[in-house]
Amino acid sequence: MAQRFGGKYSPDGTDAKTPRSARRAEVIPAGGRTNVMFIPALVLVATTVTDGAAAMTLGLAGAAVWTLSAWLLREGLLAQAAFEARKVARRPALPRKIFAAVGAGLGTALAVTAHLSTPGDILAPLLFGLCVTGLHLVAFGIDPLKSKGMEGIDTFQQDRVARVVDEAEKYLSAMTDALRRAGDRQATAKLEDFQQAARTLIRTVEEDPRDLTAARKYLGVYLRGARDASVKFADIYSRTQDPDARDHYLALLQDLEQNFAARTQKSLLDDRSDLTIEIDVLRERLAREGVRLD
């Protein structure tokens, strides 16, 4: 559905130059350079499909491996971006980018073999495959091999946090998908503001799993309700363009954004209070040992 552009003088009164829009600008980690990696597979199929049974079989196999490699690369870049966006994160369970490099090398070896004029020569395919694997690793790097920010964190508690966070992210993604059907620019912008507040709370809980108990209702019950409300709004607004429905939905998002921000602020204040208590206890202990910090 077409969407109207907004601005200072648009009917909805939104300003396209607000800081909010600038804050949401992000670079997609898996963009054009990963899409290009799907092209060689098509070229390989086109150049081997009429060259006989052996060449066609090798070409199709090489194209399949290249396609799998390109998909693994895309997923690996997305996983790395999510890893780098968090202060506390586990390393990806599957080293997708490394597997993608190996797949690119193997696909190259099959492609070279399919085009060999002298069957049986394995040195050329092997060398080309090794070169492509190395160049792939240089161009795209390797996966994060170590977790970060998890020193001293209980593994069981971190697993509980990971499950809640994954569920919360699914709710946020479902809300985005629902608003696409509504096609309303102002509602989409307001939803992004709320998602920013929700993800700030998510990062706070990830950094300190002790906040999970207090925040679980927000990341579970509230987000599930917000998702259901978004789906209902999208269904109604896509059919009727009812302004009252949009106003009620925007008000709901505003209330949710404020509540999530307040919960995050309370978590930060509680952390500061805990730190103050620990410092006071340490000062008293040092004073008893005859050490003064004046």
DSSP 127-156: HHHHHHHHHHHHHH-----S-BS-TT--HH
- Residue 281's pLDDT band (boundaries 50, 70, 90)? low
Which pLDDT belongs to residue 130? 95
Hey, what amino acid is at 267?
A: S
When the pLDDT of each residue in the chain is averaged and rounded to a whole number, the result is 79
Which pLDDT belongs to residue 292? 55
SS3 242: coil
Q: What average pLDDT does the segment 56-71 reach? A: 94
- The residues with which 148 forms a beta bridge, in sequence order, are 89
pLDDT at 52 over 70: yes
Which pLDDT belongs to residue 5? 45
pLDDT at 100 over 50: yes
Which pLDDT belongs to residue 60? 94
- Residue 286's pLDDT band (boundaries 50, 70, 90)? low
pLDDT digits (tens, 9 = 90+) for 220-272: 888 888 888 899 888 888 888 888 888 888 988 888 888 888 888 877 665 55
Rg (CA), the chain: 26
Which pLDDT belongs to residue 83? 82
Q: What average pLDDT does the segment 183-194 reach? A: 88
H-state helical runs in the chain: 19-23, 32-36, 39-48, 53-85, 96-114, 123-140, 155-182, 185-207, 212-217, 223-240, 243-288
Q: What is the DSSP letter of 241?
A: -
Higher pLDDT, 145 or 5: 145
| Number of Cβ within a 10 Å radius of residue 53 | 7
pLDDT at 3 over 60: no
Hey, what amino acid is at 202?
A: I
Which pLDDT belongs to residue 72? 94
- Residue 164's pLDDT band (boundaries 50, 70, 90)? confident
Question: Residue 40 corresponds to which tokens in the numbers above?
Answer: 């060689």
Burial category of 140 from C-beta neighbours within 10 Å (exposed 0-12, middle 13-18, buried 19 and up): buried
Domain boundaries defined on the chain: 31-140, 152-288
pLDDT at 93 over 50: yes
Task: Tell me which of 37-46, 53-62, 124-133, 282-291 is least confident.
Answer: 282-291
SS3 89: strand
Those residues whose C-beta lies under 8 Å from the C-beta of residue 87, and which sit 6 or more positions away, are: 148, 149, 203, 206, 207
- Residue 294's pLDDT band (boundaries 50, 70, 90)? low
Tokens 């949401």 sit on residue: 24
Which pLDDT belongs to residue 264? 83
Question: Residue 214 corresponds to which tokens in the numbers above?
Answer: 């207090």
Give the separation between CA 9 and CA 104, rounded to whole angstroms. 51
pLDDT at 137 over 50: yes
Which pLDDT belongs to residue 16? 41
Cβ(12)–Cβ(6) under 8 Å?
yes
SS3 215: helix
- Residue 57's pLDDT band (boundaries 50, 70, 90)? very high
Q: Determine if the pTM surpasses 0.85.
A: no
SS3 4: coil
Give the separation between CA 108 and CA 206, rounded to whole angstroms. 41
Which pLDDT belongs to residue 282? 55
